[in-house]
Amino acid sequence: MNPTDVKLPDYRTQVPAVAARFQKLKQRPVVLEVERLGRQFAASDGGVITALKDINFQVHRREFLTVIGPSGCGKSTLIRLVAGLDHPTSGRMLLDGQEVRGPGPDRGMVFQGYTLFPWLTVTENIMFGLKLRGHSESKARREALQWVDLVGLTRCKDQYPVQLSGGMKQRAAIARALANGPRILLMDEPFGALDAQTRAQMQAHLMEIWRNVDVTILFITHDLDEAILLADRILVLKPHPGEVQELIEVPVSRPREVGRFHCPEFLATRQHLDDLIHPPVSVEADPLPIVRLTAVGDDVE
């Protein structure tokens, strides 16, 4: 049967095991609390541009929360605010009850671009933050090698970033961020620059790491399938300005794999997200000008 022929249930339909998992999730301590968060920027005409408006949500311990929304809705602005790399215009963020006022070791950050130091090996990159925290050379190396093993880079531990593939670089970046023991790992479209096959591998690696490490993950993505595959819940933002449109509990049971892309719960959630992100428009698009760049008579069907 073609997946598109499946009669989709309501996306909220959950098997009992999934409903029980969310009950347990809600009983865990709140790690991150975002209250009435807003961010405005000065416009060139003297006005203001509102990137985020009245954002409210909570993230529980060991939860995997993905954030999606149309281009320009403020996803990256949100994660930069949580990281302490930017400051809100209004509202506040509480991490373990303490207000976020700047960067700190309680938050690890993984960007889409490869941010490894090119002059350091994989192991030395992971050691960098540990040494800043006061670890001795030998202790930092021991701990770094444990993280190298966890992310499956043992054979590459003495290689430099230029010698690594894109997926390997991101695994090393994840290990470096986790080595400092953050309460929450912030990931801004970390797999966006990878090819489809490597991206699928990295998604599997990340889920395996998350299962084995006591860390909460806030993950920005524009890929709806990726959001459903990874998340416990999905925060959907509206565009211009970014506001919370919906907070969705993903009804797909774990463990998840690519084969789950075609189960009814996945497809129903995917359709619902697509309706939110890409609502039907009534205004017709302007017709494109037709410019003939081939010889007359060279038509194609």
pLDDT digits (tens, 9 = 90+) for 174-205: 999 999 999 999 999 999 888 889 898 899 99
**Domain boundaries, given as residue ranges, for the chain:** 3-106+185-277, 117-181
Residue 19: the pLDDT is 83
Look at residue 222 and tell me whether its pLDDT is greater than 80. yes
**Lowest pLDDT segment from 40-54, 212-226, 257-271:** 257-271
Task: Tell the CATH superfamily of the 3-106+185-277 domain.
Answer: P-loop containing nucleotide triphosphate hydrolases (3.40.50.300)
Joined tokens for residue 204: 């599997």
Spatial distance between the Cα atoms of 233 and 249, rounded to a whole number of angstroms: 4
H-type helices in the chain, by residue range? 16-27, 75-83, 122-132, 137-150, 166-179, 196-212, 224-230, 264-277
pLDDT in tens, 114-147: 789 999 999 999 999 999 889 999 999 999 999 9
Indicate the pLDDT class of residue 278, thresholds 50, 70 and 90: confident
Look at residue 270 in the predicted model and tell me its pLDDT: 92
pLDDT (average), residues 161-175: 93
% of residues, the chain, pLDDT over 90: 62
Burial class (CB in 10 A: 0-12, 13-18, 19+), 103: exposed
Look up the pTM and report it. Answer: 0.88
pLDDT value at residue 234: 96
**Which residue type, as a one-letter code, is found at position 153?**
L
Provide the pLDDT confidence category of residue 1 given band limits of 50, 70 and 90. very low
Whether residue 92 has pLDDT greater than 50: yes
